Chain A
Amino acid sequence: MPQWVVVSVVIALYLGVTLTIGLISGRRASKSVDGFVTADRSFGVIVLYFVMGASVFSAFAFLGGPGFAYGRGAAAFYILGYGALGMAPFYWLGPRAAAAGRRHGFVTQAQLVTGRFPSRWLSLGLAVMSVAAFVPYITLQMRGAGIVIEVVTEGHVPLWLGAALAYGIVVLYVLRGGVAAVGWTNTFQGAIMLVIAWTFGMWLPGELYGGVGPMFERLAAEAGEMLALPGLATPWTASGSVEGGGTAWTWGGYSSAILVSAIGLVMWPHLFMKAFTAKNDEALRRMVVLFPTFQLFLIPVFLIGFAGILVPGLVLDNPDYVLPELIIGASLPPLVVGLFCAGALSASMSTGDALLHAAASITIEDGVKPFRGRGKERGAPDDEARQTSDAEERRMMRWLVVILGVVAYGFALDPDSSLVILLLSAYGLIAQLAPPVWAALFWKRATTAGALAGFVGGAATTLFFFVMDDLKPFGIHEGILGLIVHVPLLVIVSLLTEPQSEEELERFFT
């Protein structure tokens, strides 16, 4: 039997198991908005661990991680640097947000922020920014899934069909089970990712160089600059030779990439919202403690990338293809190639489903609902008459899952799509969510005017320096420059405006 047929069978089996888990687990949640968005706040530590790990480490990490190490060398270490650093504050932030969620029924990050700083426009701004950051992110996950399937089936299953199959299944189980399906499928997918990455990552250096130590000995001798920080800003492959290829990254760029990513990590709404899914504070705290153990899967991921650098004749225009190319080149049994493909699909789908679900929930909860009554002015006379019914909201969210999936799929099929450029600026924008969230929960003197001024100023500064790249001092990330404007604005405007009444504060904090 041809290899691609065996591989296709393994992929089909994997997709079948994922769909089954998604459909079955989705039945456990109630048929309410709370059930769809927070799984009735029922996730324990195991599901939280995998849902956070698998959502953070997407196709970008599984395919882009080796690609980064292969093309840009030590620059890849920044991904290792920011994960644990960014997750640790969630030990305190997560339980506080979860407690506010339980008290007031919040299911999204923007509801938490606008529960403290009442403003429909702030809610809309947060929703627009989140969805704008999500769509290109989902698109890249879809493309990643399509590329992997296309490569390992030797082109017999084209990108458009592979992406449609994988994400058709994602849409089905998200529609049916909401975040409960996301949680349990991510548990399955996260476990697959870890096993495949560690197995292949530890095996490959041994196969090609006789071990991890000998591999780095050779690399240090033949391409030492690839192992020294801050690595390369552009892949060496463009020049065709690893010696002297690629331009060096600046320390400012490397350092600020770690800082902005650490600040922004748990501010990604699809991750932050998982605080509302926890069944108790203890589950959230234990997840934060255990998170670095998931993050260590980047070690084998990077080993795979470094292993590719000295493979004779392996000069790839797109470094992200290094993992599938090495798999194909290693002449592995088709069953193993199929399992590798399942690992890569897991990485893509486990992030894509969380994004799709969060994008639909945020659009309705933060972009539509505040303008239809509930959340606008709690307790207003017309509140009940105008409020959107629970069932209607849930229906709208499910429609949006389909619509957003189709939109992202359309972009995924366009190889010239400039969405990647949008994604590059996403972290800078997402980092602007950190000050209002921290201020909402920890600084009682912060005011709505301060939060709005800081958010607008920070986002505008980030976009300005993203467009005017040459003006960035020392190559510092635009998100950090945005925060340098954001935080003082929030503090100064808050101190210059009237404090929120004790009554308002008490309503939020107790």
Chain B
Amino acid sequence: MNETESRRDRRRGAGRIVPALVVVFLVVEAFALTWPIATLFNDPGTRILGLPLPFAWSVAWVVATFFVMAGVWWTDRRRER
């Protein structure tokens, strides 16, 4: 198997693995934002960038989703090229 074919195989593999990883990420996100995980990040006295922890926790997951989806898009673009 030459180098080009092996690279193509790796990209094909990424095409299957990336959606699966995103599903895992979204499941983790769903757990993180709901009971019981959210109860661990529920102290209003702790503030991050001025926001109380429960607020900052929700915002952080929105930002994380942006970066994860951007990563997926970038991987797809590379694979398609």
Contact = CB atoms under 8 A, between A and B. Distances in A.
Contact of B69 (A81, A217, A262, A288): A288
A132 interface: no
Given A224-B44, A228-B44, A258-B34, A84 B55 contact: no
B76 to A, nearest CB: 7
Nearest to B33: A81
Interface string B21-53: 010001001100111101100111101001110
Contacts of A91: 22, 69, 72-73
Contacts of A285: 73, 76
| Centre residue among A81, A91, A213, A299 by max chain B CB count within 10 A | A81
A95 to B, nearest CB: 10
A212 B62 contact: no
Interface stretch (A52-60, A248-256, A311-319, A402-410): A248-256
B66 A289 contact: yes
Given A255-B35, A289-B70, A89 B26 contact: yes
**Across chains A and B, which 5 residue pairs bring their CB atoms closest together, nearest first?**
A227-B44, A255-B34, A213-B50, A84-B65, A292-B66
A77 interface: yes
B33 A258 contact: yes
A213 B46 CA distance: 11
A101 B17 CA distance: 27
Contacts of A219: 44, 52
B55 A74 contact: yes
Contacts of B52: 216, 219-220, 227
28 contacts: A74-B44, A80-B59, A80-B62, A81-B61, A84-B62, A84-B66, A85-B29, A85-B33, A85-B65, A88-B22, A88-B68, A91-B73, A212-B51, A213-B50, A216-B50, A216-B52, A220-B44, A224-B44, A229-B39, A251-B35, A251-B36, A252-B35, A254-B35, A259-B30, A288-B69, A290-B66, A295-B62, A302-B55
Contacts of A92: 19
Interface string A67-100: 0000000100100110111001101100000000
Contacts of B70: 289
Interface of B is mostly: helix
Contacts of B43: 228
B30 A227 contact: no
B30 A262 contact: yes
A292 B62 contact: yes
Interface residues of A, number: 40
Given A88-B65, A255-B34, A296-B62, A289 B50 contact: no
Nearest to A86: B26
A304 to B, nearest CB: 14
B26 A289 contact: no
- Of A229, A258, A293, chain B has the most CB atoms within 10 Å of the CB of A229
A279 interface: no
B27 to A, nearest CB: 10
Contacts, number: 105
A445 interface: no
Contacts of B33: 81, 85, 255, 258
A211 interface: yes
A74 B42 CA distance: 10
Interface string A7-19: 0000000000000
B1 interface: no
A479 to B, nearest CB: 15
Nearest to B34: A255
A299 to B, nearest CB: 6
A219 B73 CA distance: 40
Contacts of A295: 62
Contacts of A290: 66
A104 interface: no
A376 interface: no
B42 A296 contact: no
Nearest to B67: A292
Nearest to B19: A92
Contacts of A254: 34-35
A286 interface: yes
A212 B50 contact: yes
A71 to B, nearest CB: 16
Contacts of B51: 212, 216
Contacts of B69: 88, 91, 288-289, 292
A227 B26 contact: no
A224 B45 contact: yes
A230 to B, nearest CB: 8
A213 B47 CA distance: 8
A205 B35 CA distance: 30
Given A85-B26, A212-B51, A227-B55, A293 B39 contact: no
Interface string A320-359: 0000000000000000000000000000000000000000
A84 B29 CA distance: 10
Contacts of A288: 69
Contact of B30 (A77, A251, A258, A292): A258
A211 B51 CA distance: 11
